[in-house]
Amino acid sequence: MSSPFPFFPVGASSVSTEMDMLYLFIVAVCAFFTVLVAALVVYFTLRFKRRHPTEVGADIHGSLTLELAWTFIPFVLSMVMFGWGAKLFFDLATPPANAMEIFVVGKQWMWKVQHPEGVREINELHVPVGRPVRLTMGSEDVLHDFFIPAFRVKMDVVPGKLTTMWFEATKVGTYHLFCAEYCGTKHSGMIGTVTVMTPQDYEAWLAGGRSTGTAAQNGERLFADLACVTCHKPDSSGRGPSLAGVFGSKVTLTDGRTVIADENYLRESIMNSQAKVVQGYQGIMPTFQGMVTEENLMQLIAYIKTLKPAAPAEVKK
């Protein structure tokens, strides 16, 4: 980074080396073809320079062999790029099961971060080194994009839904955090820092942070305050379905479809409750749009995730 003419950003995540390799591979292929074609064109213009005003070129119309060659070779090379790129893309889209979860909310023009332990920060993100981190992200207003160049990761933050991204930092240090999707006047001010710490330092930092309870505890408080609990009772005696064990389960809807109850399903059911009503229940739940913020929503979801399914014996009955 200290070079006056930097070419590469710092690489500080588990994917940064592979990203750089893929980049250099394509650079090499493209440089080869650029030099090849440029050399041919320059050579032809010099070698076959017009010598007489009425002179014309040779009577050559084409060559099927050549056409097939320069159709086939670019095709194969582009498929190699596609395959490697797709593999990396799926790695980036699949967080490891043991990833710790951090909640991020984008709003004009700041990033609000909420750790599961309840510590909050603004325009900063502290993470431990060597541990996969999964970000669950929402937006209060317009499109944003959470971009950490040193980690080679980026994901849009979209109002109306939750998006996720993950990374595993491999180097202790401080890195840029940018909003990469244009979001209005102070778009270029919606930046911050990502601080990668040793696990011990991270624990110490968490302990030193001001916390008003964990995300799930805050969610539980909201669950009571918003009176969710009057209908969504722990057993199935309420007017709404029990939420015990609902996260990650298959839910059958009134129209017969089944959906996986992931974060986005829970979010939609709170904000737009009539969209996907569970079979056997009436669509009587009010919408909470405008009553809960994106942060509240993430706390509610964190709480719902902690609700374990009822004991297996009871289910069999």
Partner 1 sequence: MTAERQSYLDAPYGLKSWLLTKDHKRIAMLYLISITIFFAVGGLFALGIRLELLTPKGDFVSDDVYNKLFTLHGIVMIFFFLIPSIPATLGNFFIPIMCGTKDLAFPRINLLSWYLYIIGGVLGLAAIIGGGVDTGWTFYTPYSTTASHTSVTIAAVAAFVAGFSSILTGFNFIVTVHRMRAPGLTWFRLPLFVWAHYATSLVMILGTPVVAITLVLLMCERALGLGIFDPKLGGDPVLFQHLFWFYSHPAVYIMILPGMGVVSELVSAVSRKQVFGYSFVAFSSLAIAILGFLVWGHHLFVSSQSIYAGLVFSIITMLVAVPSAVKTFNWAATMYKGSVTWESPTYWVIGFMGLFLIGGLTGLFLATLGLDVHLTDTYFVVAHFHYIMVGGAIMAFMGGLHFYWPKMTGRMYPESFAKASAILVFVGFNLTFFPQFILGYLGMPRRYHSYPDEFQVWNVFSTGGASILGLGYGLCLIYLLWSLKKGAIAPANPWGAKGLEWEKTASPPTTFNFDEDVIVTEPAYNYAPGGKVHHG
Q: Which of residues 108-137 bind partner 1 (CB under 8 A)?
A: 108
- State yes or no: residue 187 binds partner 1 (CB under 8 A): yes
Q: How far is the CB of 209 from partner 1 (least distance, A)?
A: 26
The C-alpha atoms of residue 143 and residue 10 are separated, in whole angstroms, by 27
The C-alpha atoms of residue 35 and residue 11 are separated, in whole angstroms, by 29
Residue range at the interface with partner 1 (CB under 8 A); choices 19-27, 97-105, 228-236, 305-313? 19-27
Nearest to partner 1 of 230, 274 (CB atom): 274
The interface with partner 1 within residues 56-85 (CB under 8 A) comprises: 56-63, 66-67, 70-71, 74-75, 78-79, 81-82, 84-85
Nearest to partner 1 of 40, 284 (CB atom): 40
Count CB-CB contacts under 10 A for residue 71: 9
Question: Do 168 and 14 contact (CB within 8 A), yes or no?
Answer: yes
The interface with partner 1 within residues 209-248 (CB under 8 A) comprises: none
- State yes or no: residue 259 binds partner 1 (CB under 8 A): no
Residue range at the interface with partner 1 (CB under 8 A); choices 86-94, 113-121, 245-253, 255-263? 86-94
Q: Which two tokens stand for residue 51?
A: 């010598």
Q: Is beta strand 192-197 parallel, antiparallel or unpaired with respect to 124-128?
A: parallel
Nearest to partner 1 of 40, 260 (CB atom): 40
Binding mask 22-61 for partner 1 (x = CB under 8 A): xx--x--xx--xx--xx-xxx-xx-xxxxxxxxxxxxxxx
Binding mask 140-179 for partner 1 (x = CB under 8 A): -xxx-x-x-xx-xxxxx-xxxx-x------------x-xx
The C-alpha atoms of residue 215 and residue 252 are separated, in whole angstroms, by 28
Closest CA to 153 of 129, 128, 176, 186: 176
Rounded alpha-carbon distances, angstroms, from residue 109 to 105, 184, 187, 189: 11, 8, 7, 7
Nearest to partner 1 of 65, 237 (CB atom): 65
The C-alpha atoms of residue 104 and residue 125 are separated, in whole angstroms, by 9
- State yes or no: residue 14 binds partner 1 (CB under 8 A): no
Nearest to partner 1 of 193, 217 (CB atom): 193
Nearest to partner 1 of 119, 271 (CB atom): 271
The C-alpha atoms of residue 9 and residue 218 are separated, in whole angstroms, by 38
The interface with partner 1 within residues 260-289 (CB under 8 A) comprises: 272, 289
- Dihedral angle sign, alpha carbons of residues 251, 253, 257, 261: negative
Looking at 113, 125, 127, 183, which residue binds partner 1 (CB under 8 A)? 183
Closest CA to 291 of 300, 302, 303: 300
- State yes or no: residue 90 binds partner 1 (CB under 8 A): yes
Q: Catalogue the E-assigned strands of 158-257.
A: 163-168, 173-179, 192-197, 250-252
Q: How far is the CB of 72 from partner 1 (least distance, A)?
A: 9
Nearest to partner 1 of 164, 242 (CB atom): 164
- Dihedral angle sign, alpha carbons of residues 255, 258, 261, 263: negative
Q: Which two tokens stand for residue 311?
A: 């004991």
The C-alpha atoms of residue 291 and residue 271 are separated, in whole angstroms, by 9
Total chain residues near partner 1 (CB under 8 A): 94
Looking at 17, 89, 96, 279, which residue binds partner 1 (CB under 8 A)? 89
Closest CA to 178 of 140, 220, 150: 150
- State yes or no: residue 205 binds partner 1 (CB under 8 A): no
Nearest to partner 1 of 92, 206 (CB atom): 92
